[in-house]
Structure 1
Amino acid sequence: MAAGLGVLAPSSAAAGRRVHPGDSIQDAVNYARPGDTITVMPGTYYENVLITKRLTLRGYGARTVIRPPVTAVTPVAPVTPQAPGATGAPVASGPAQTPAAKPPVKPATAATPTTSGRALACSQADTGICVMGTAEQPVVDVDIHSLTVSGFKRNGIWASYTDRLSVRRVISEKNGTWGIAQERSTRGLFRDNIARDNVESGLFIANTVDREGGATDTLGAVVRRNTLTGNRIGVTVRRVRNLSVYGNELTGNCGGIFVVGDEGEPGAGDMTIRNNRIHENNKFCKGNSRLPDIQGAGIVLTGAEETVIRSNDIRGNVGASPLSGGILLFKSFVGATNTDNVIRDNVVRDNKPADLANQGTGTGNQFVNNRCASSVPAGMC
């Protein structure tokens, strides 16, 4: 049993390639055939990685670390994250979790000409691992597991136009925007990851980040058994439908779980949030033009519909923000209402200013059999 996150040592008979410190992960990806497995051996690798084909990329947990390239790329203007947060002050980077390897003299070899545009986009975004398909040809069945991405100016892992992407046992930390993020994608699985000290969300799933529009169907994406701490928001799901968020541990963030919609059609929602432990998310994050300050927020729904929140343990989320409290149905700044949501069988204790709150003009929302002490309006406990 290898150290780190408990990954088994890869078999020498496994199909594919091994990458050792000083080698290029990107070279191995470029030359891999669809379906190959690339095993990244313990060490520190200074590069961006672009994946545009079906393959498995696996490492040794905390012992396999991908960090920003030593040779800086030309900076580009960052994409300003929309609700629920704008970029705040970057988190100071701590020491690497593995002994530093000698940085490569040259940056990693660029991708093949057919993917060079997407490679440039990934590199300029200063993201650790990019998984990039197209609208005409989504990339299918990419599996990333048991490695660490740390200290990138934008994202740890970013995916666009993917189907059945799996991200498992990954540590994504100290990145300037999102820890693990996905847009325009379906059937993603995000399981047993650690996302910590990222400036925005630890885990972020959206329809698209560069324009407004109605919610898209994720066809059953799953966010399961992740540990999210020290981020602005632990998990954000924005303008999407048909997914589940369960069994996660969220603590020490400014906010736990945010479900964000707008006035577009179809509306965001049709999801299940259950069996999560959401305790003491009391870090303070300054607000922006779309949302107020965030502190002490357990679960927040804004512009959501037909979402079930059940069997969660939500305690000690305390703050003085309009978003503070245990479970909050928040009035949307763009006029979208929370409708037909069900909040039931949750333990919601010691949250302030209230354990449960229902704001705005939405209809059909039900609060049933929750164990709590205070609510706004009164009478929901």
Structure 2
Amino acid sequence: MKNHHIAHLVCTAALLGAGLAATPSAAAHTVHLVRPGESIQSAVDAASPGDTVLLAHGTHHESVNVTTPGLTLRGMGRGTVLEPETGPSTATTTAPTTGSGAAEAANSCAAAGNGICVTGTKNHSVDGVTIASLTVTGFTRSGIHAYEADGLTVRRVTAVKNGVWGIATERSVHGVFRDNTARDNGDAGLFLANSVTEEQGATDTEGTLVERNRLEGNRIGVTVRRLRNLTVAGNHLTGNCAAVFVVGDENKPKAGRVTVRDNYIERNNKFCPKTARLDALQGSGIVLTGTEDNLVTHNVIKNNVGTSPLSGGIVLFKSLVGTANERNWISDNLVQGNSPADLVITDPGKDNTFQDNTCGSSKPAGLC
């Protein structure tokens, strides 16, 4: 398929400002325009670090694998839609077979049921990729899946009706997930984990930020699994079975040091049946399970109602393998109208502190 180079963006010292005036000019960066029916993968594989692959308005039927650092994959808003291919995959015939086996990687992304993959390795992460301003929908696994990505930014993406996760990352650090919408995905709208397939201790995300996203109608709005040093802030979560899960287990280091603040969490009362790993879910606001040293503060958590063992406004629940929560600080939250209670502790963990929360009921009594 033909690639269209519509612009050459030259970063000059003058544009960088007086403070950087002495530095050499950066190399020209190219914008590659891809229209519906043309190969996104071919444009991605032809791009150099710093380039932008711009997807035109309309529906594109393809899975895409990104391994080039510094690449931006961007649409023209929600009307740029990425869906699965409707016929036999063309990834192995349209994508150039560059040194890293780009065609095979693209085909693997599609075969795994993902829409966009950002794929590094244990020895070589993919740095500085941005995905923005498009819709990913209808994929059997994830709309976006990143593995070994450093500094991934996902913004203004709409991930709708994907089979498992809307947007997911594994083994990734320094991520920014901002102003996205994840709706009606089979599991979590946003899923962040150390590893899905391996048993290991929690890893440090080095400050990953999940901010100002809208998460609706998923099984879980945001899942943070076996990670440390991460912030979930300013998100709007409604209509999920559960809003926020911070998940740990018996592995060392333990999951924790997650800040959950300034989120609006209301009526997450959808019912999701029991799975092999987890009881039925309904009416869960923020759930900490098997974690330590988290801060939950300045959230508004209202009218989350259910009969699951994990139901309630803010819930401390032992992990699947019986690991308790320890040294968590829950303060200055507005927690009202949740059932069976606004604040719930069901595990025997130590040194968990509840302070200055505005709430009407707790289990056990006396936490409000």
Question: Does the Cα contact within 8 Å between 1:111 and 1:119 map onto a contact in 2?
Answer: no
Specify the code of the residue in structure 2 equivalent to 1:43. G
What root-mean-square deviation, in Å, do the aligned CA atoms of Structure 1 and Structure 2 show?
A: 1.5
For the pair 1:157 / 2:144, whether they are aligned, the reply is: yes
Shift of the alpha carbon at 1:333? 2.5
For the pair 1:43 / 2:30, whether they are aligned, the reply is: no
For the pair 1:342 / 2:329, whether they are aligned, the reply is: yes
Question: Does the Cα contact within 8 Å between 1:70 and 1:107 map onto a contact in 2?
Answer: no
CA distance in 2, matches of 1:259, 1:111: 41
CA distance in 2, matches of 1:336, 1:217: 20
CA distance in 1, matches of 2:195, 2:245: 16
Q: Which runs of 5+ in 1 are unaligned?
A: 1-10, 74-104
CA distance in 2, matches of 1:277, 1:111: 46
Shift of the alpha carbon at 1:22? 1.8
Mark the CA change 1:111 to 1:319 in structure 2 (over 3 Å): closer, same or farther. Answer: farther
TM score, norm. by length of structure 2: 0.90
Higher strand share: 2
Question: Does the Cα contact within 8 Å between 2:8 and 2:31 map onto a contact in 1?
Answer: no
Q: Which residue of 2 aligns with 1:88?
A: none
Specify the code of the residue in structure 2 equivalent to 1:141. G
What are the Cα deviations for residues 249-288 of structure 1, in whole angstroms up to 9, with x where unaligned? 0000000000000000000011100000000000000011
What secondary structure does 1:144 align onto?
Answer: strand
Question: Does the Cα contact within 8 Å between 1:279 and 1:316 map onto a contact in 2?
Answer: yes
Shift of the alpha carbon at 1:120? 3.1
Question: Does the Cα contact within 8 Å between 1:269 and 1:304 map onto a contact in 2?
Answer: yes
Which one of the candidate residues 286, 295, 319 is aligned to 1:299?
286
Shift of the alpha carbon at 1:112? 2.2
Q: Which residue of 1 aligns with 2:185?
A: 198
Q: Which residue of 2 aligns with 1:68?
A: 84
Shift of the alpha carbon at 1:12? 4.7
Shift of the alpha carbon at 1:118? 2.7
Mark the CA change 1:23 to 1:275 in structure 2 (over 3 Å): closer, same or farther. Answer: same
Q: Which residue of 2 aligns with 1:186?
A: 173
Mark the CA change 1:296 to 1:182 in structure 2 (over 3 Å): closer, same or farther. Answer: same
Structure scoring higher RCO (CA < 8 A, sep ≥ 6) equals 1
Q: Which residue of 2 aligns with 1:89?
A: none
- How many residues align structurally? 340
For 1:41-120, list aligned pairs within 5 A.
41-54=56-69, 55-72=71-88, 109-113=94-98, 114-115=100-101, 116-120=103-107
What are the Cα deviations for residues 85-130 of structure 1, in whole angstroms up to 9, with x where unaligned? xxxxxxxxxxxxxxxxxxxx99872352523443232121121100
For the pair 1:208 / 2:195, whether they are aligned, the reply is: yes
What secondary structure does 1:256 align onto?
Answer: strand
CA distance in 1, matches of 2:320, 2:154: 33
Shift of the alpha carbon at 1:169? 0.2
Mark the CA change 1:334 to 1:373 in structure 2 (over 3 Å): closer, same or farther. Answer: same
What are the Cα deviations for residues 332-377 of structure 1, in whole angstroms up to 9, with x where unaligned? 2302110000000000000000000112111010000000000011
Shift of the alpha carbon at 1:242? 0.2
Shift of the alpha carbon at 1:289? 2.4
What secondary structure does 2:105 align onto?
Answer: helix
Shift of the alpha carbon at 1:331? 1.8
17-26 or 343-352, larger mean C-alpha shift: 17-26
Question: Does the Cα contact within 8 Å between 1:207 and 1:239 map onto a contact in 2?
Answer: yes
CA distance in 1, matches of 2:108, 2:249: 28
Mark the CA change 1:365 to 1:173 in structure 2 (over 3 Å): closer, same or farther. Answer: same
Mark the CA change 1:141 to 1:106 in structure 2 (over 3 Å): closer, same or farther. Answer: closer
CA distance in 1, matches of 2:237, 2:355: 23
CA distance in 2, matches of 1:20, 1:120: 20
CA distance in 2, matches of 1:13, 1:365: 56
Q: Which residue of 1 aligns with 2:3?
A: none
Identity fraction in percent: 54
CA distance in 2, matches of 1:45, 1:120: 16
Q: Which residue of 2 aligns with 1:129?
A: 116
CA distance in 2, matches of 1:247, 1:353: 25
What are the Cα deviations for residues 134-178 of structure 1, in whole angstroms up to 9, with x where unaligned? 111100000000011011111100000110000000000000000
CA distance in 2, matches of 1:220, 1:109: 38
Q: Which residue of 1 aligns with 2:300?
A: 313
Q: Which residue of 2 aligns with 1:174?
A: 161
For the pair 1:146 / 2:162, whether they are aligned, the reply is: no
Question: Does the Cα contact within 8 Å between 2:41 and 2:106 map onto a contact in 1?
Answer: no
Q: Which residue of 2 aligns with 1:218?
A: 205
Q: Which runs of 5+ in 2 are unaligned?
A: 1-5, 10-29
CA distance in 1, matches of 2:330, 2:190: 22
Which one of the candidate residues 315, 319, 326 is aligned to 1:328?
315
What secondary structure does 1:378 align onto?
Answer: coil
Specify the code of the residue in structure 2 equivalent to 1:340. R
What secondary structure does 2:108 align onto?
Answer: helix
What secondary structure does 1:62 align onto?
Answer: coil
What secondary structure does 1:120 align onto?
Answer: helix
For the pair 1:369 / 2:356, whether they are aligned, the reply is: yes
Question: Does the Cα contact within 8 Å between 2:92 and 2:107 map onto a contact in 1?
Answer: no
Specify the code of the residue in structure 1 equivalent to 2:67. T
Specify the code of the residue in structure 1 equivalent to 2:87. T
Q: Which residue of 1 aligns with 2:251?
A: 264
